[in-house]
Amino acid sequence: MKSSLFKAIAGSTSFKLLSAITSFITVPLLLKALGTNQYAIWVTSTALVSWLNLFDFGSGYSLKNKVTEAIALDDFRKINILIAGTIQFYFLMSGIALCLFIGALFLLPVFKDNVVLAVMIYLPIIFSFPFTLSHFIIQGRKKFNSFNLILTGQSILWLIVVLLYRYNLITPNIYFLGLFYGLLFLFTNLVILVVSLNGMNFKWKTVMEIKHFVDAKDSLKVGYRFFLLQISSLFLFSLGNVLTYNHLNLKNVAEFDTVNKIYLMGMTLFNVVISVFWAEISHAKALKDTKKLWKLFKQLILIALGFSLGTAIFSFLIPMLVSAWTKKIILVEVSQLIPFALLISIQAIAYAGAVVLNAFEDLQGQIVLSVLASCLIVPLSNYFFKIDFGIGTVPLASSILLIPSVIFVLVKSNILISKLETND
């Protein structure tokens, strides 16, 4: 593994670990300050933030590939026009997201019951949506350490506010927390935008030229395929809080969210590796460097297998960790964790193969399997809830539905690299 790749992974992982530690400290403080019931309402409300990522319709992932390829080929002639057109698209989607959010206030139970809190959280986040394009630009430019440093700063600021709230140094008010959470999200993405565009000679006035929206149409068309993968992934991996809230009690929601946070922290660290390797694979693909592609692919599979083994071993420590972390407010057993560990392990191996397909923008097979899985996740979860699988219901259903995708992406990745090698 070359030094630049190692530095990107090591640096970004260090920042992610710091963010993870910050989150570990924040959760029990917030749980203690809010109480189990209000905490369950909080985590269920904020769990839907990730759904806003759908409104880019995958255009960010397409742009990330284009930015990396522009760097590899030393050709920036069209990339700033493409960025301007994509930002215009993001502003359009922000308006649509706002309209849908207003409708959701009358339809979603968790929003209907907590309208003021939902507005405090989501309005600043929706207004900041155009700035989130910067996440893809900064990763395409391989500025992973800068990106994760800013996100770590966001986590630390959130911890400080929760500490002030927990120890009554500010007036205890869940609505204040909601407003600060939304505004912090907006500020963080504005900072990432500034850093991502620094040195690119990007002119903001080009965003006002509508013709650039047309110039970006080819990239936006590719993006819709990433969008289908996004939405199916959200159904598979982000419905746990909502489905558990609908079928079990608030104590179970708190248990699910606490355990899920621990496993997601591990997945967040693995996604650092995926992000770095995605940029490297796109770079090698642009240069048609098949030798490097094979090396990167094999390294990534080995990392995924090692991560899966580590997840299984670490799971035996989680009951003790949860008990200490929440001061015995939440207690779980190892048997309850098996579906969570299984899902994270399968997910890691799937991502290792899928990142190659994403860099090549060969998505059709993934889309078919992902859409099929997203259609089945709710009925399969409902069935497992009825036979009492408890808080592990949704992870177990997701694991089963993900297995065909794992097999497909690993086989297809080998085919794509071999094909490029033959054509070259």
| 3-state secondary structure string across 109-162 | HHHHCCHHHHHHHHHHHHHCHHHHHHHHHHHHCCCHHHHHHHHHHHHHHHHHHH
Would you say 397 and 380 are in contact if contact means Cβ atoms under 8 Å apart?
Answer: yes
User: What b/e string do you get for 166-185 counting C-beta neighbours within 10 Å, with b at 16 or more?
Assistant: beeeeeeebeebbbbbbbbb
Confidence label for 424 from pLDDT (cuts 50, 70 and 90): low
Torsion angles phi and psi, residue 98, rounded to 5: -65, -45
Highest-pLDDT range among 166-180, 198-212, 362-376: 362-376
- Of the chain, the end-to-end C-alpha distance in Å amounts to 24
The pTM of this model reads 0.73
- Determine which of 16-25, 284-293, 335-344, 390-399 has the lowest per-residue pLDDT on average: 16-25
Q: For residues 213 and 249, which has the higher predicted lDDT (pLDDT)?
A: 249
Taking 90 as the threshold, does the pLDDT of residue 259 lie above it? no
Residue 36 CB partners (closer than 8 Å, separation 6+): 250, 251, 254, 329
Q: Report how far apart, in Å, the C-alpha atoms of 289 and of each of 285, 294, 353, 407 are.
A: 6, 9, 18, 25
Among candidate residues 99, 135, 105, 109, the one with its CA nearest the CA of residue 121: 105
C-alpha 30/C-alpha 151 separation (Å) is 20
Q: Which residue is it, tokens 């800013």? A: 150
Positive or negative, the Cα torsion across 97, 217, 355, 68? negative
* Predicted local confidence at residue 190, as pLDDT: 92
* Predicted local confidence at residue 80, as pLDDT: 77
Q: Count of residues for the chain?
A: 424
* Predicted local confidence at residue 300, as pLDDT: 92
* Predicted local confidence at residue 104, as pLDDT: 81
Q: Which residue is it, tokens 């936006």? A: 220
Would you say 96 and 55 are in contact if contact means Cβ atoms under 8 Å apart?
Answer: yes
Greatest Cα pair distance in the chain: 66
